Every structure is written in C-alpha cells, then in structure tokens.
Chains A and B, each alone.
Chain A
Amino acid sequence: QSALTQPRSVSGSPGQSVTISCTGTSSDVGGYNYVSWYQQHPGKVPKLMIHDVTKRPSGVPDRFSGSKSGNTASLTISGLQPEDEADYYCCSYAGSYIFWVFGGGTKLTVL
C-alpha cells in the first residue's frame, strides 16, 4: 500500500481537462510544499512534470499544472492530447525520517 493515495485511473477526451488527485497527510503533502509529479509512458523512464507543487520544469507544456489544498495535491492537464496517455505518479517529501513517498500511480486514458 502506497503512502499517498491516487485514483487508479482517470480518462478524458482530446481537448478536455482532467485532474489527478494525490492525498496524503499533514506529515507529507499537507506539511510541505514539496510535491512533485512524474509521467511514465509504458516501458519508459519516469519524467518530472511538476515540482514544488506548482513549478514546471523547462520543456514541460503549460497544459500541465499543479496545486495543493490541505493534504491533497492535484495535477491538472488541460487540452488533453493523445500523447498524454500515461501513468502519473505523485511524490512528496515526508520529513527527516520517512523522507520521500510516492503515490500508487494513476493511469490516464485519452479516449
């Protein structure tokens, strides 16, 4: 069982927006602004999409955005494109004993 809870799957049609949630506790997601999101296509290496809750690395489309409210972080993908179909994982810093924890991953299907 993963430390952070994500929906197992979400779906949307091209052009639509989808939001993936990542729920933790006050000891991880809620306690720090250190949530990151990774995209992983089948058989590929995870790719950093968002860090520090809302920051987008260079080269990541601005269709990807992150937010946080309380113990739940969210990744929103607007203007869905077929190439967005992938697994998405959230990760949070969890303090100086646990350090970093991941969510179980969410499979995004673009219909």
Chain B
Amino acid sequence: QLQLQESGPGLVKPSETLSLTCALSGGSIDSTSYYWGWIRQPPGKGLEWIASISYSGTTFYNPSLQSRLTISVDTSKIQFSLSLTSVTAADTAVYYCVRHGGQWFDPWGQGTLVTVSS
C-alpha cells in the first residue's frame, strides 16, 4: 500500500525559501498513470492545490503561486520536492503531498506544518 511522508523544516523565516520533500514507500514513482503533487491548508482554513509533477518531469503550477514555485522529482530516491521562495506569513500552512489518480488526489501524506515567522 502506497504511503507518502513529508519532511522539511517546521519554521521558516520571512523572505526565505520553504523546501519540502515527499518520500514514497510501498509503491513506485515512475508510473505513467499518476502525477505527484502538493496541497496546503492554512490553520483553520480550506485546501489549496499548489503544484504537481509527473515522473518524467512535466509540471503544473497554481498560477497564483507559480512565480515562487519549483516542483521536482527524483526517481532514484523515490521522492519529489517542493520549493517556495520569498515566503510570508500567508504561506503558513499544513503542507500535504499527494498522488494524483486522474483528476483526484489519493492517497495523502500525513501533512507537515510549516510556520513562517522570524
């Protein structure tokens, strides 16, 4: 059974770069049937899709965040990563990594809270 696990710093200073990694276990990342993505949820608020990538490197970005985003995949390490530059307090959220099956998201990682604060 596929499991996803996010990792990264829980605290990032304003204007710095947020970097997260999602490691897969129990499944393969190099499938043509799936994409891999990130979704975030600010405390007490709703969900926001951020970015997605295929194992071959095709990327999709939320246009409202695109200028600050980079998503990448490392098939040798069976993981994918997210980088968000110039963070502000508005980027404070629980960040989930997900698998895309078609046009839906399943499964989800456990999520990691990232707080932007000096």
Contact = CB atoms under 8 A, between A and B. Distances in A.
A97 B63 contact: yes
Given A45-B110, A46-B96, A91-B105, A105 B47 contact: yes
Contact of A91 (B47, B96, B108): B47
B46 interface: yes
Contact of A99 (B52, B101, B102, B104): B52
B74 interface: no
Interface string A28-48: 000010101010000001111
B106 interface: yes
B109 A98 contact: no
B60 A102 contact: no
A82 interface: no
B48 A52 contact: no
Nearest to B103: A34
Contacts of A48: 104-107
Contact of A51 (B63, B104, B108): B104
B108 A45 contact: yes
B79 to A, nearest CB: 19
B49 A46 contact: no
A103 B46 contact: yes
Given A45-B110, A99-B60, A51 B102 contact: yes
A37 to B, nearest CB: 9
14 contacts: A34-B103, A36-B104, A36-B105, A38-B47, A46-B47, A46-B108, A51-B104, A57-B106, A89-B46, A99-B62, A100-B49, A102-B46, A102-B47, A102-B48
